Amino acid sequence: MTKKALITGITGQDGSYLSEFLLKKKYKVHGLVRRVALEDENHRLWRLRNITKKINLHPASLESYASLVKLIQKLKPDEVYHLGAQSYVDYSFKDEFSTLNTNINGTHYILSALKEFSPKTKFYFAGSSEMFGKVKQVPQSEKTPFHPRSVYGISKVAGYDLTRNYREAYNMFCCSGILFNHESPRRGFEFVTRKITHSVARIKFGLQKELRLGNLDAKRDWGHAKDYVEAMWLMLNQRKPKDYVISTGKQYSVKEFAKLAFELVDLDYKKYVKIEKNLFRPSEVKTLLGNCNKAKKELKWKPKYNFKELVKDMVKSDLEFVQKEGY
């Protein structure tokens, strides 16, 4: 029998790759989108342009319990992948209220709707390495205590705890993926990795003179989003629901990312990168490095892309984008 999956955040980086992955697995894919996305498909659905006719999009809001109940009752999905969120860490400092409202209430609303109207549905929550924040140990595993350093991180810890509580209290199949930074050519321009590769392409074509960045010494465990969406699916296809860290186990600084990106177009990053103090976060997360041994052992998952291949993929894509679009 064909499985039905509902994806929140389907228009984002992870949602688009997950949709493609599930379609290959012969799933019927449904996505929750804001109504405005359906009115402006060119700008808001660009990541889905190749599969729009193969998926089903439903207007609803994570901030409306009634709309989520209606959708869950209608679909009774086999699996829900809850990826939708205000996911930009820096913005969470500027608008704490909407970040907390969307990320915490949205997660609670979906879990509650599933409990009441589709309790057999398997639920995946998109956790984040930002939950570790001021890290208590290196590398971070499923047993590492959380100490979030942003409103975004706080909201994700709350979502993680809600997911665990529904699993334990109501015997539902609910699990969280604690995903470390995962990038791709579909990353939003506001994220530092895409900001770097897009700027590199613009500088190469003479459309930009410099790249302004904040903390170059921040270290992250960067993987490719294509690899990470497979891990989400694997989690929901285990016998028992568990939480997993998904990472590469290797760490690079923002400076190393920028250096490699510029080298790929035969430029020296030192000539173009300028440090701007107002781009530093109020409370910095200096280092994140994941231990994904549990996922490797139990899910039989491992990343296919290495760091250089990831950066190369993003730079190549942005060179093509800038050449075609002119910006």
The tens place of each residue's pLDDT in the chain, 327 residues long, gives: 899 999 999 999 999 999 999 999 999 999 999 877 676 677 789 999 999 999 999 999 999 999 999 999 999 999 999 999 877 676 677 778 888 989 999 999 999 999 999 999 999 999 999 999 999 899 999 999 999 999 999 999 999 999 999 999 999 999 999 999 999 999 999 999 999 999 999 999 999 999 999 999 999 999 999 999 999 999 999 999 999 999 999 999 999 999 999 999 999 999 999 999 888 877 778 899 999 999 999 999 999 999 999 999 999 999 999 999 888
Phi, psi of 291 (to 5 degrees): -110, 105
| Residues pairing with 287 in the sheet | 219
Q: Which of 20, 79, 130, 256 is catalytic?
A: 130
Q: Which residue has the tokens 């998926």?
A: 55
Kindly tell me the sign of the dihedral angle through the C-alpha atoms of 11, 13, 14, 18: positive
Cis bond before residue 139 (omega within 30° of 0): yes
Rounded CA-CA distance 250/245 in Å is 13
pTM of the model: 0.95
- Active-site pick, 27, 124, 152, 160: 152
| CA 197 – CA 314 distance, rounded (Å) | 6
DSSP 297: I
- Cβ contact 203:193 at 8 Å: no
Residue 79 to residue 61: CA distance in whole angstroms: 18
Structural fold of domain 4-182+222-246: Rossmann fold (3.40.50)
> Distance (Å, rounded) from C-alpha 177 to C-alpha 270?
37
Annotated catalytic residue within 19, 128, 184, 199: 128
Query: In this structure, are residues 7 and 32 in contact, taking their beta carbons and an 8 Å threshold?
Result: yes
d(Cα 306, Cα 292) in Å, to the nearest integer?
A: 15
CB 122 within 8 A of CB 236: yes
188-220+251-284+306-325 has the same fold as 4-182+222-246: no
Compute the radius of gyration of the chain from its Cα atoms. 19
DSSP 209-251: S-EEES-TT-EE--EEHHHHHHHHHHHHTSSS---EEE--S--
Closest CA to 321 of 216, 183, 184: 184
CATH assignment, 188-220+251-284+306-325: 3.90.25.10
Is 130 labeled as catalytic in the residue annotation? Answer: yes
Residue ranges covered by each domain of the chain: 4-182+222-246, 188-220+251-284+306-325
Indicate the helix (H) or strand (E) that contains 128.
strand 122-128
